[in-house]
């Protein structure tokens, strides 16, 4: 049941590319759109999945996912794509109650996926060397309702830092190999170390550094690809879209081992 404070994604019902809006429900609140005003009071008491009419059309009321939130973020940096974030969480088995760390917060894309996965009982420790990036990420996270599960801190994680033992740590910055020795001690036995890099030189240096660290065991190195299709059942046509994300980067995965 939707109530005051619930976060809603309202999606236009149309055969064309639908527009959508994410907002938090407030008593006597309203959202202005090209379809007309959406009155919050008419939504409170309904359920996710219901369809309502507005002045110039209809909208669906949906629960937003991390992928949906990313479309509404203010971007001050390049972000990891939603597919990369989802695969990273899957590889590390991130779930409720886990404590995880990340460095290279950027605009908060991976932060959102991690916080969504570990909620309500886990915690994300997010580090960035740039305070302006952290403040922007904090503002983005406010719309998700996950802010209580995240601690943001200005920190160069190439130096030693203090956190509770972590189930996983994720890196997204240009020289991850420089931070491996400071991150390895923060992981529990069997904990996951994952980083994203776009260039082969970075892969080579990172893998070499992992192999030199006796507390880490390299597991896999792979890329994530995606190809979208245009589908028209009436004309029996299906073909790849001409514009798509062909390459985003390389994911490197290692495990913390205990001697």
Position 2 in a domain: no
Q: Are residues 48 and 169 in the same domain?
A: no
DSSP three-state, residue 235: helix
For 47-72, write each residue's pLDDT tens digit: 999 999 999 999 999 999 999 999 88
How far apart CA 192 and CA 184 sit, in angstroms, is 9
Provide, for the chain, the percentages of residues in helix, strand and coil under a 3-state DSSP scheme, each rounded to the nearest 5: 30, 35, 40
- At 225 the pLDDT is 85
Per the structure block, which two tokens stand in for 187? 């992981």
Q: Are residues 150 and 86 in the same domain?
A: yes
Q: Are residues 120 and 98 in the same domain?
A: yes
- At 246 the pLDDT is 76
Share of the chain above pLDDT 70, in %: 100
Q: Residue 213: pLDDT above 90?
A: yes
Q: Is the peptide bond before 48 cis (omega within 30 degrees of 0)?
A: no
**Domain hosting residue 232, numbered range:** 68-256
Residue written as tokens 């997010």? 126
Which of 116, 122, 79 is CA-nearest to residue 100?
122
**What is the domain count for the chain?**
2
Share of the chain above pLDDT 90, in %: 78
Helix boundaries (H) for 74-118: 82-91, 109-118
What CATH number did the domain enclosing 36 receive? 3.10.330.20
Q: Are residues 92 and 213 in the same domain?
A: yes
For the question of whether the overall pTM of this predicted structure is more than 0.85, the answer is yes
- Residue 144 makes CB contacts below 8 A (sequence gap 6+) with 7, 64, 66, 69, 112, 115, 116
- At 17 the pLDDT is 82
* Residue 210 φ/ψ, nearest 5 degrees: -60, -45
For 215-235, write each residue's pLDDT tens digit: 999 999 999 888 889 898 888
Average pLDDT value for the chain: 93
Higher local confidence (pLDDT), 16 or 221:
221
Per the structure block, which two tokens stand in for 1? 């049941």
């Amino acid at each position: 049941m939707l109530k005051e404070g619930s976060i809603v994604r309202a999606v236009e019902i149309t055969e064309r590319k639908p527009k959508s809006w994410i907002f938090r429900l407030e008593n006597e609140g309203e959202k202005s759109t090209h379809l007309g005003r959406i009155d919050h009071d008419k939504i409170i008491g309904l359920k996710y999945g219901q369809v309502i009419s507005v002045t110039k059309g209809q909208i669906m009321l949906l629960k937003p996912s991390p992928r949906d939130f990313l479309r509404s973020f203010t971007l001050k940096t390049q972000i990891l794509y939603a597919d990369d974030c989802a695969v990273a969480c899957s590889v590390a088995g991130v779930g409720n109650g886990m404590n995880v760390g990340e460095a290279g917060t950027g605009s908060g894309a991976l932060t959102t996926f991690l916080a969504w996965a570990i909620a309500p009982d886990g915690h994300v420790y997010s580090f960035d060397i740039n305070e302006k990036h952290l403040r922007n990420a904090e503002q983005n996270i406010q719309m998700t309702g996950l802010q209580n599960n995240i601690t943001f801190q200005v920190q160069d994680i190439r130096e030693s830092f203090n956190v509770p033992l972590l189930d996983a740590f994720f890196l997204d910055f240009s020289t991850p190999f420089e931070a491996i020795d400071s991150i390895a001690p923060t992981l529990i036995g069997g904990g996951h170390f994952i980083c994203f890099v776009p260039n082969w030189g970075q892969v080579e240096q990172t893998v070499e550094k992992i192999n030199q660290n006796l507390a880490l065991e390299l597991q896999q190195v792979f890329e994530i690809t995606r190809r979208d299709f245009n589908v028209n059942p009436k004309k029996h046509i299906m073909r790849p879209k001409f514009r798509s994300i062909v390459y985003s980067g390389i994911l490197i995965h290692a495990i913390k081992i205990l001697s």
